[in-house]
Structure 1
Amino acid sequence: MNDRTEPMIQNTEAFEQLLESHRGILFKVANTYCWQPDDRADLLQEMATQLWRAWPDFDPTRTFSTWMYRIALNVAISYLRNQSPHRRNLVSMSEEHHLVADPQTAEQTSEMTHHRLLLHNFIERQTALDKALLLLYLEEHSQREIADILGITESNVSTKIGRLKQRLHDEL
């Protein structure tokens, strides 16, 4: 191994370790934007590819998770735009069963399933940016973090979240 390949190998290993330790972010984003397993797999692959391409420009003074969210959400939004309207709205009947945890009673199952489906249906109907906003909000990111990830102001985040909460309240 020569002197040039050693830093590249270390850089690759650092990327792989960070990607593995934060891979949950990719799954959350993919599950938010894609209902079909094949689409999710394609989106996950595309996000990983774009993260690798952007890796040389990563600023280590910033948090990796914020950088990762920003790229993953941008890739997901682009992916969604490129899908045909018909395909993007398909939902498998079996998908509903994956939304249910293992509750203790049938009544809890019914109520939890109903609420989760309502929330998922609400999220599915939102614009790509609002989906990203909801995902980050539900993940309990601060408004500052959401603003940084999405590249909008904190006041814009606050306004949009307030409007989304009101729309959700009005629908439910």
Structure 2
Amino acid sequence: MTRDDGQDRSFDDVLRRHAGLLSRIAASYEADPALRDDLLQDMALALWRALPNWRGEAPLRAFVARVAHNRGATHVVGQMRSPLGGALSDDWIEPRHGPDGHAELEERRVRLQDAVRRLPLSQRQAVTLALEGFSHAEIADALGITANSVGVRLNRAKAALKSVLGEDA
């Protein structure tokens, strides 16, 4: 496969470069670690199948996110159950914080992740990409919607998250 900064990219390279993105997207759809691992494998397989169709019209990162979100949405529809709370992986912990800081950060991450999982699917997708640093245009491209729709979804999601997390506007 070619494109993306003019360099050849193998599937393994694409998977390695976007492993964190895929893991975080999977975590936004599945709380159970074993089911999340299965979802990650499904995402990787879907990416492997879709990668030959990537024509470079959108950034590779957006393409990977779109494939992952499509798999995540299919997973949620297939599960038809309420999400279970679960701890996030240790790779999210920043080493500069002490034990108390780690505990506080972990508690905040778990609360946010659980709150994001409770959002309607369309809002969850937009929020997950926004938390990854995607612009409105990149989110729109990844989800196949307009940038205005992204703004609406993010505003609704922000209000819902504030309500669930008990934060003031």
TM-score bin, normalised by smaller chain = 0.7 to 0.9
* Aligned residues between the structures: 156
Is the counterpart of residue 52 in structure 1 residue 53 in structure 2? no
Matched letter for residue 98 of structure 2 = Q
Q: Counterparts of 1:26-41 in structure 2 under 5 Å?
A: 26-41=22-37
TM superposition shift of 1:114: 4.1
Matched letter for residue 43 of structure 2 = M
2:130 corresponding residue in structure 1: 137
Of residues 93, 98, 104, the one that matches 2:98 is 104
What SS class does the counterpart of residue 141 from structure 1 fall into? coil
TM superposition shift of 1:131: 1.3
1:162 corresponding residue in structure 2: 155
Of residues 73, 80, 89, the one that matches 2:83 is 89
Structure 1 residue ranges, 4+ long, deviating more than 6 angstroms after superposition: none
Matched letter for residue 50 of structure 1 = A
TM superposition shift of 1:132: 1.2
Paired-residue identity, %: 29
Is the counterpart of residue 123 in structure 1 residue 119 in structure 2? no
Structure 2 distance, partners of 1:168, 1:39, is 24
Name the one with the larger helix percent: 1
Larger Rg: 1
Question: When the two structures are superposed, what TM-score results if normalisation uses the length of structure 1?
Answer: 0.78
What SS class does the counterpart of residue 74 from structure 2 fall into? helix
What SS class does the counterpart of residue 49 from structure 1 fall into? helix
Matched letter for residue 135 of structure 2 = S
1:71 corresponding residue in structure 2: 67
Question: When the two structures are superposed, what TM-score results if normalisation uses the length of structure 2?
Answer: 0.79
What SS class does the counterpart of residue 14 from structure 2 fall into? helix
Structure 2 distance, partners of 1:147, 1:168, is 21
Structure 1 distance, partners of 2:21, 2:64, is 8
Alignment check: 8 A CA contact 2:119 2:160 kept = no
Structure 1 distance, partners of 2:65, 2:75, is 15
Alignment check: 8 A CA contact 2:31 2:84 kept = yes
What SS class does the counterpart of residue 98 from structure 2 fall into? coil
- The 1:39/1:154 distance shift into structure 2, 3 A limit, reads same
| RMSD of aligned Cα (Å) | 2.4
Structure 1 distance, partners of 2:150, 2:89, is 32
Matched letter for residue 158 of structure 1 = G
